Amino acid sequence: MFPDKIYYEPESLEYELGQRLKEKYSTIPWIPIKSHNKIDELRTRPNSDFPAMKHHLIIGVRKTHNFVPNHKVSDFLVPYTSSGCTAMCHYCYLVCNYNKCAYLRLFVNREQMLKKIMDHGARSEKNYTYEIGSNSDLVLENTITGNLAWTIENFSKSNYGFLTFPTKFNKVEPLLGISHGGRVIMRMSVNPQSIITRFEPGTSGLDARITALNSMCDAGYRVGLLIAPIIMTEDWKDLYSQLIDTLSDRLSKKVREQAPIEIIFMTYSYVQNAINTEAFPQAERLYDKELMTGRGRGKYCYRDDLRSSGEQFLRQQIEEKLRGMTILYVV
Ligand code: SF4
């Protein structure tokens, strides 16, 4: 059951969203905490409790609002209404930041956070793009808070800038009929279904993600496609070749005409490996010392030669089967 209990900063109940969540989840335990960043009874639990801890919901007030310059699909990464996630992708980079405490935290001061973005946009000479989903999955979060729909409707009243967010979830119905002003870019992240099943527990299936992407594009949103992360399992060439066949069959004409493609190879780390080994003892291991560089307690990535032959293979497949679509970058 999600959530099974809630840890909350008492100050969060001074906000309208905090009150609404208190009513919505009135039948489960609410445990007061001093800070969402330091919940000792969770921090000290063993790594094997990682899946169980994903059932908890943390509610607080975001205090730091620093925009981080970025140079890929956005100009700034902006801390927004949540961090962490209920899903458990084995490579999730949030685990590098939050360790086993990568559970979903909601921040109730959404008015303050959105105002900061809109004020920044109004002050700027350029139409900047703000990445609001780099710390969580906002489509998932929207199923609990309605924050993404609220954000889009309010942001669309401004004439400045764009919002963008990636997702691995298909729950876009609440976003389809609302006003977005063409100022919102949703990027759907896809992987072969077999990779989703093995390494992305708790996320939406491939077919559902493609349907959601087509629907958002039909609803007039700008859209993008992330093929990420590329995981070089033994059968990876077959899997990604089939994925690109599926995309070729299923993406609507409109998506194919406008969605740029981002391709990201998996990186992995000592921390993720340690948590996964204890939390998912039956799962396939993602760390392979023959294929990856980086040792010790740091980060690992695929060897340069494998990565560049992988990139060449994917570029060929896309050129052949998704002709006309633009690859924005491969990392
Ligand atoms: Fe992490 Fe995204 Fe997977 Fe959630 S859906 S666990 S945020 S990679």
Please name which of 241, 240, 214, 244 lies closest in space to residue 229, comparing C-alpha atoms.
240
Q: Which residue from 55, 80, 85, 91 has its CB within 8 A of the most atoms of ligand 1, so it is best to mutate?
A: 85
- What pLDDT score does 97 carry? 87
- What pLDDT score does 65 carry? 86
Residues 6 or more apart from 235 whose CB is under 8 A from it?
Answer: 194
pLDDT at 170 over 90: yes
- What pLDDT score does 55 carry? 97
Spatial distance between the Cα atoms of 131 and 110, rounded to a whole number of angstroms: 15
- What pLDDT score does 86 carry? 97
Asked if residue 38 lies in contact with residue 79, where contact means CB atoms within 8 angstroms, the answer is: no
- Residue-wise pLDDT tens digits, 266-318: 999 999 999 999 999 999 999 999 999 987 789 999 999 999 999 999 999 99
Which protein residue has the closest C-alpha to ligand 1 atom 7?
Answer: 136
Please name which of 254, 257, 253, 203 lies closest in space to residue 228, comparing C-alpha atoms.
203
Two structure tokens written together for 240: 């990604």
- The pLDDT-based confidence of 1 (bands split at 50, 70, 90) is confident
Give the atom of ligand 1 at the shortest distance from the alpha carbon of 84.
7
pLDDT at 214 over 90: yes
Amino acid (1-letter code) at residue 123? R
- Residue-wise pLDDT tens digits, 79-121: 999 999 999 999 999 998 899 999 999 999 999 999 999 999 9
- What pLDDT score does 64 carry? 87
Determine which helix (DSSP H) or strand (DSSP E) holds 107, and give its type and residue range. strand 104-107
H helix runs in 74-181, sequence order: 94-98, 110-123, 138-145, 147-155, 173-176
Rg (CA), the chain: 20
The reported pTM is 0.97
Residue ranges around ligand 1 (CB below 6 Å): 85, 87-89, 92, 94, 136-137, 168, 200, 203
Q: Which residue from 98, 190, 203 has its CB within 8 A of the most atoms of ligand 1, so it is best to mutate?
A: 203
Two structure tokens written together for 42: 């969770």
Question: Averaged over 178-198, what is the pLDDT?
Answer: 98
Q: How far is the CA of 188 from the centre of ligand 1 (A)?
A: 12
| Signed CA dihedral, 13, 14, 15, 20: sign only | positive
- What pLDDT score does 136 carry? 97
Query: So where are the chain's domains?
Result: 5-330
Q: Note the ipTM here.
A: 1.00
Structurally, at CATH architecture level, domain 5-330 sits in Alpha-Beta Horseshoe (3.80)
Question: Averaged over 155-173, what is the pLDDT?
Answer: 97
| Signed CA dihedral, 235, 87, 165, 99: sign only | negative
Give the sheet arrangement for strand 267-269, strand by strand: 267-269, 299-302, 292-293
Q: How far is the CA of 85 from the centre of ligand 1 (A)?
A: 6
SS3 145: helix
Q: Give the rounded percent of residues in the chain with a pLDDT score beyond 90.
A: 96
Instruction: State residue 37 phi and psi, 5-degree precision.
Output: -85, -10
Amino acid (1-letter code) at residue 21? L
